[in-house]
Amino acid sequence: MTTDSDREESGKPASVGRGRTLLSIVIPVLPYIWPRERPDLQLRVIIASLLLLATKVAMLAIPLLFKLVTDALVGPEGPPAAAPAGLAWPAGLAWLLAAPVAIVVAYCAARIMESTLAQLRDGLFGKVGMHAVRRLAVRAFAHLHELSLRFHLERKIGGLSRALERGRNGIEIIVRLVAMQLLPTFVELMLIVGYMMWQFDWRYVATVLLTVVCYVILTYRLTEYRLEIRRNVNSADTESNSKAVDSLINYEAVKYFNAEQREIERYDSVMKRYEDASVKAITSLSMTNSANTVVFTAGLGVAMIMCALEVKAGTKTIGDFVLVNAMMLQLYQPLYFVGLAYREIKQAAADIEAMWSVLAEVPEIRDRADARPLKVESGVIRFDNVVFAYEPERKILNGVSFEVPSGKSLAIVGSSGSGKSTIARLLFRLYDVTSGRILIDGQDISEVTQISLRRAIGIVPQDTVLFNDTLRYNIRYGLWSATEAEVEDAARLAQLDGLVGAAPEGYETEVGERGLKLSGGEKQRVAIARTVLKNPRILVLDEATSALDTRTEKEIQGALDRVSRNRTTLIIAHRLSTVVGADEIIVLDRGVVAERGTHSVLLASGGLYATMWRHQHRVDEALDVRDLPVPGR
Q: Is the pLDDT of residue 9 over 50?
A: no
Percent of the chain clearing pLDDT 70 (strictly above): 82
Lowest-confidence pick of 92-101, 204-213, 295-304, 555-564: 92-101
Q: What is the pLDDT of residue 8?
A: 35
* Domains observed in the chain: 4-360 (1.20.1560.10), 381-627 (3.40.50.300)
Q: Are strands 584-589 and 397-404 parallel, antiparallel or unpaired?
A: unpaired
**391: which DSSP letter?**
B
Q: Is the pLDDT of residue 296 over 60?
A: yes
Pick from 163, 125, 150, 139: nearest CA to 44: 125
Q: What is the pLDDT of residue 86?
A: 46
Pick from 399, 340, 414, 334: nearest CA to 589: 414
Element (H, E) at 177: helix 157-177
Q: What is the pLDDT of residue 625?
A: 44
Higher pLDDT, 53 or 12: 53
Q: Are strands 584-589 and 381-388 parallel, antiparallel or unpaired?
A: unpaired
**Mutual angle of helices 39-74 and 183-199, in 10-degree steps:** 30
Q: Is the pLDDT of residue 174 over 80?
A: no
Q: Are residues 197 and 205 in contact, defined by beta-carbon separation less than 8 angstroms?
A: yes
Q: Are residues 502 and 429 in contact, defined by beta-carbon separation less than 8 angstroms?
A: no
CA distance linking residue 203 with residue 27, whole number of Å:
36
Mean pLDDT of 356-371: 80
Lowest-confidence pick of 423-427, 565-569, 628-632: 628-632
Tell me the three state secondary structure of residue 375. Answer: coil
CA distance linking residue 81 with residue 99, whole number of Å:
9
Instruction: State which of 182-186, 389-393, 394-398, 601-605 shows the largest mean pLDDT.
Output: 601-605
Percent of the chain clearing pLDDT 90 (strictly above): 8
pLDDT in tens, 586-615: 999 888 899 999 999 999 988 898 988 888
Pick from 159, 166, 157: nearest CA to 137: 166
Element (H, E) at 292: helix 260-313
Q: Is the pLDDT of residue 27 over 90?
A: no
Dihedral sign computed on CA atoms, order 153, 155, 157, 161: negative
Residue 200 C-beta-side C-alpha neighbours within 13 Å:
30
Q: Are strands 435-440 and 409-414 parallel, antiparallel or unpaired?
A: unpaired
Mean pLDDT of 343-364: 72
